[in-house]
Amino acid sequence: MKKLLSIIVAIMFFGCGSQNKISEIKHTSKLALKEDIKASLEYLASDELKGRHTGSEGIEKAAVFIENFFKKNKVQPYFKTYRDSFHLKDIVGYNIVGYIQGQDSELKNEFVILGAHYDHIGTAEPVNGDSIANGANDDASGTVAVLEWAKYFSKLKSNKRSILFTLYAAEEMGLKGSGHLAKRLKDEGLNLYTMINFEMIGVPRTEEETMAYITGYKKSNMAEKLNSYAEEDIVGFLPQAKAYNLFKRSDNYPFFKAFKIPAQAISTFDFTNFDYYHHVDDEADKMDFEHMTSFINKMILALEGMINTSTKEIKINNE
């Protein structure tokens, strides 16, 4: 009976009429659960972490949480430890980097990076005596998504390419953490295929819009390919993205500059659906956990396609 129920749930989730999606039913038990997503985000965006400003005690607690999450789920460190440390004058920052080696004898030498920043601004203009800018949407939401995908792929153990799960500090100080890591990996000769940064995925867009959008839409065929792998239009175009220069304002950009490969950001925050950017009310209770769970799980087929194709199908466009 339990097996039958899981099959029914899987069919409802993936939708009928898609042989590819139905073939993924066997992995249903590994999909992200709303209660896990909620628990992780509520901790990362709690007052205990005091806004996760780079160099603070709060971001240290966030880093330990991420490290313990990786350890629990058997995601290995890429370097000697999970921490990629850097200095900003008298501040020590650290990105957290998890690693799952590819299972294909040749493709394991190619890497895909899934990233998000786990820092925030610390404090903001007080409202009703509250000055802690918890950064639930920005970007505890993206951080939790990356952690859930790390858990998923660590259980699946069938990724052909190798994957780095990268959580950045000092994004709020000018992409300093991702800039440091991109340079380090480039200097070390990493064979990077693609990189996706996930930024503010805690709130849904309107029903007539695609679930998410990608920055630098015309710079590559990434959106088209991700939707093809998912067999669903999950990732679309945001007209305002270019006006706001979003492609260069998130942690994908240092990787694009260093490696000259498809490196873009995906978000569900579109400037109309959340009023609390860098505000003390960017709290866990403002997040839509049904939406987050749906997005994280819908993206799995898209990510699997990117990670497992036999050739590099995602390519830079000549604009």
Q: What is the pLDDT of residue 318?
A: 77
Which residues lie closer than 8 Å to 194 by C-beta, 6 or more apart? Answer: 112, 113, 222, 261, 262, 263, 306, 314
**Which residue is associated with the tokens 């769970």?**
293
Q: What is the phi/psi pair of residue 237, to 5°?
A: -115, 135
| Res 293 pLDDT > 60 | yes
Q: What is the pLDDT of residue 30?
A: 82
Q: What is the pLDDT of residue 27?
A: 65
Residue 262: HSE in the Cβ half-sphere, 13 Å Cα cutoff? 26
Q: What is the phi/psi pair of residue 32, to 5°?
A: -70, 145
| Res 52 pLDDT > 80 | yes
Q: Which two tokens stand for residue 53?
A: 């400003």
Confidence band (pLDDT; 50, 70, 90) for 244? Answer: very high
Per residue in 167-212, pLDDT (tens digit) is 999 999 999 999 999 999 999 999 999 999 999 999 999 999 999 9
The DSSP code for 195 is E
Determine if the peptide bond prior to 139 is cis (ω within 30°): yes
d(CA 191, CA 279): 39
**Which residue is associated with the tokens 């493709």?**
107
| Res 308 pLDDT > 90 | yes
> What pTM does this model have?
0.92
Confidence band (pLDDT; 50, 70, 90) for 2? Answer: very low
Q: What is the pLDDT of residue 12?
A: 41
Per residue in 55-83, pLDDT (tens digit) is 999 999 999 999 999 999 999 999 999 99
The DSSP code for 130 is E
The domain segmentation of the chain, as residue ranges, is 31-308
CB 143 within 8 A of CB 169: no
| Res 21 pLDDT > 80 | no
* CATH code, 31-308: 3.40.630.10
Q: Is 226 left (phi over 0), alpha (psi -120 to 50) or beta?
A: alpha
